[in-house]
Chains A and B, each alone.
Chain A
Amino acid sequence: QQQVKQSPQSLIVQKGGISIINCAYENTAFDYFPWYQQFPGKGPALLIAIRPDVSEKKEGRFTISFNKSAKQFSLHIMDSQPGDSATYFCAASIGNRDDKIIFGKGTRLHILP
């Protein structure tokens, strides 16, 4: 299966809270899992990415948690800020093939001030 299933579709979090977005996949050949952030009126931008040889990757307030056995990965945004309000896409690809990347449907995140 080539799908990447992302949830929830939308999320509202209070300022200072933790935002959690989840993704699941079926194809065990996937070996690269990026997250993209898209602000209204802008194109997506690569935010953070992980490979399956590690279970967690942290960059500032953004953390990817990866569970290889469950075939799930998630994005955690700590101390969420109104400026984090955006649409987030998870994705998965195989063997560094840029054309084979599969995107999730996206999560619209809104951080309440």
Chain B
Amino acid sequence: DVKVTQSSRYLVKRTGEKVFLECVQDMDHENMFWYRQDPGLGLRLIYFSYDVKMKEKGDIPEGYSVSREKKERFSLILESASTNQTSMYLCASSLIEAGGPKFFGPGTRLTVL
């Protein structure tokens, strides 16, 4: 059974903390994505990666960075968490040129106090 797993389902952090969200996929997919999902706003792309050590900004990269040291792992980093980063964070993966993410992880509900 194919899987995208995320390190935490729920996370509570304080303003100013550095936050790491980890994502691992076991499908040997080239593409990996980080989205945030907010009520009324749908899914918005933060960063994506087409290959190891490669990263590209999505629509809302401000306040975030990413790391992809291995093909199966894609990390999202909040350098200094702020309350407006309270959200559901979704990792996804797909094969190259699939037209869109095929598999999403279960999400991490991040609350920044």
Contact = CB atoms under 8 A, between A and B. Distances in A.
Main secondary structure of the interface of A (DSSP, over half): mixed
A96 B99 contact: yes
Contacts of B94: 98
A46 B94 CA distance: 11
Interface residues of A, number: 22
A29 to B, nearest CB: 13
Interface stretch (B13-21, B37-45, B67-75, B76-84): B37-45
B92 interface: yes
Contacts of A36: 104
Interface of B: 4, 31, 33, 40-43, 45, 48, 56, 58, 90-92, 94, 96-107
Interface of A: 32, 34, 36, 41-46, 49, 89, 91, 93, 96-99, 101, 103-106
